[in-house]
Amino acid sequence: MAMTPGPVLIGFAEALAGPETAESLLAAGLPVIAFTRRGARPALRRHPRLTLHEVTAPEHDAAATVGELQAIARTQGAVALMPLDDAAVWVCDRASAGLGLPVVGPTGTQAEIALDKRRQLELAARAGLPVPPTRVLATAQEALEIDAYPVVLKPALALAEEDGRLARGTARACAGPEELRAAAASWRASGPLLAQPWLPGTGEGLFALTTGGEARHWSAHRRLRMVNPQGSGSSACASAVPDPALVEAGARMMALAGWRGLFMLEFLRDRHGQPWFMELNGRTWGSLALARRLGLEYPAWAVLEALGLGEAPATVASTGEGEVVCRHLGREIVHTVSVLRGPRSAALEDWPSKWGTVREVARIRRGERWYNWSARHPGVFVDDTVQTVLGAVSRRRAA
C-alpha cells in the first residue's frame, strides 16, 4: 500500500465516532491528526499516536472555525479532510473550497442533502423507501394547528447558521395539545420543522460504501437500547442481516443522490414489523464500533479510495460469530439514568422497566464488544466513558 505524503485531518474529535474512525485509519497505515472545539476534552487526547488542534467552536463563530481549519490543514500538510459529525460536514464543505483538498464526506449538493431531512425524505420516497406521513412547518407556532396525536416535532435541518453561528434543535414527542403548546413555546431552533406521527418501535441502521456508483458492503444493526428511550442514538446494538428490500431501495436512493463514500440509513421498525425511513447520515456514525468488529473498515476504505491508494476488498470474511453485540459503557450508564428519571411525555407509553433496565445493563454476557476499547490504548476507553457521563450531566443542568 502506498503511504500518504501527509495526514488525514478528521474532526470534530469529540464526535462519538472519533476514536473508532481514528483507529480504522491508523490500522490501515494512514497518518491522522484531528481538530477539536477549543476547550473540549475529547477522549482522543489520550491517544499516543494522535495530535489534536483546537479551533473556535462553530456554535460561537462558524466563519472563524472554517478559517482556522484551513490554516491547520495548510500548516500540517493535510492530504484530506474527513468530517465525523454534522457540524463538521458543514465546516469541511466550506473549508474545502479554499484548500483544494478532497473531503472524505459530503460536499456541495450532497452536503445539503446530508443536512436537510426534507430532501432526504423526498429522495427516500422517490426510491421506494417507506416514509412516515410528514408535515413541513415553517415555524414552531404552526405546530399549534396539529390535531392528531401523539406527534413528534423535529428540526428539518440537522443544523443551521444563525447570526454567524451553527445551531441545532432537538426532537420533542407530544401526547396532546398541552404538551404541544409547551414544546412550541420552548422551541429554541429557527428554521423549518417536521411533524410526524409518534411511532413506537425499534431503531435499525443500514450501512454501506458507495464506490464507482455502486453501494457495496452492506451491513445492518438493530438498537438494543437507546441513550434516551424517547429517541436518540444507541447505547447498545446488535448486528443484523440487511433487509433485501431496504437494501434495494436504499441503493436507488443513494444513486438518485449521486452519492459517493460511506453512509448510514436510519429506520424505525414499528410494532407491526413495518420499517420507516427516518434519516440519512452522510458521515461516520455512532455505532461504527459494531461495523469494525464485523471487519468492515468503512472509514479506511473511504479514505483510501478518495486518495487513490486502494479500495474496499471485493469480499469481507465473516466473523463466524453470528449476532455480535456492541455496547458503549458511558452511554449505558446515561441510558440507565434516563430510564430511572422517567419519560418527559405521556406519548411514551412503552417506557422501559426501571429495575429491569438496571439488571440488563449490569449484566455482561460473554462475547459482548465495547465501543472504543483497545488493549493498546485503554485510556481512550476510560476517558470516553467519563466524558460521556459528565457531558450528560452538564447538558441536563443547562436544560
Q: List the chain domain ranges.
A: 8-108, 133-197
pLDDT at 320: 58
Burial label for 175, CB within 10 Å (0-12, 13-18, 19+), is middle
Say if CB 350 and CB 356 are below 8 A apart.
no
Cβ contacts of 301 within 8 Å, gap of 6 or more: 209, 217, 262, 310, 311, 312
The number of C-alpha atoms within 13 Å of 311 and in the hemisphere containing its C-beta is: 10
DSSP H helical ranges for the chain: 18-27, 62-76, 86-96, 108-115, 117-127, 177-186, 244-256, 288-293, 298-306, 329-341, 354-362, 378-398
pTM: 0.93
pLDDT at 1: 46
Rounded (10°) angle between helices 86-96 and 108-115: 160
Say if CB 66 and CB 90 are below 8 A apart.
no
List the beta bridge partners of residue 262: 209
**How many angstroms separate the CA atoms of 129 and 275, rounded?**
9
Cβ contacts of 349 within 8 Å, gap of 6 or more: 200
Rounded to whole angstroms, what are the CA distances from 284 to 55, 72, 89, 178, 327?
20, 22, 10, 38, 17
Q: Which residue has the cell 479532510?
A: 81
> Is 74 in a helix, a strand, or coil?
helix
According to CATH, the topology of domain 8-108 is Rossmann fold (3.40.50)
Say if CB 282 and CB 301 are below 8 A apart.
no
Q: Which residue has the cell 487513490?
A: 308
Nearest to 22 by CA among 352, 271, 243, 303: 303
**How many angstroms separate the CA atoms of 347 and 388, rounded?**
27
Query: What residue type is assigned to position 368 of the chain?
Result: E
Burial label for 339, CB within 10 Å (0-12, 13-18, 19+), is buried
Nearest to 83 by CA among 95, 74, 92: 92
pLDDT at 273: 94
What CATH number labels 133-197? Answer: 3.30.1490
**How many angstroms separate the CA atoms of 317 and 295, rounded?**
7
pLDDT at 290: 96
**How many angstroms separate the CA atoms of 82 and 299, rounded?**
9
Say if CB 69 and CB 84 are below 8 A apart.
no
Per-run averaged pLDDT (10 residues), the chain, 399 residues: 78 96 96 97 94 97 98 97 97 94 96 97 98 92 89 93 90 89 81 91 94 91 86 88 97 96 96 96 94 96 92 70 90 92 74 87 92 93 94 72
Phi, psi of 169 (to 5 degrees): -105, 180
Q: Which helix (H) or strand (E) holds 275?
A: strand 275-281
The Cβ of residue 344 has, within 10 Å, a number of other Cβ atoms equal to 15
Domains 8-108 and 133-197 share a fold: no
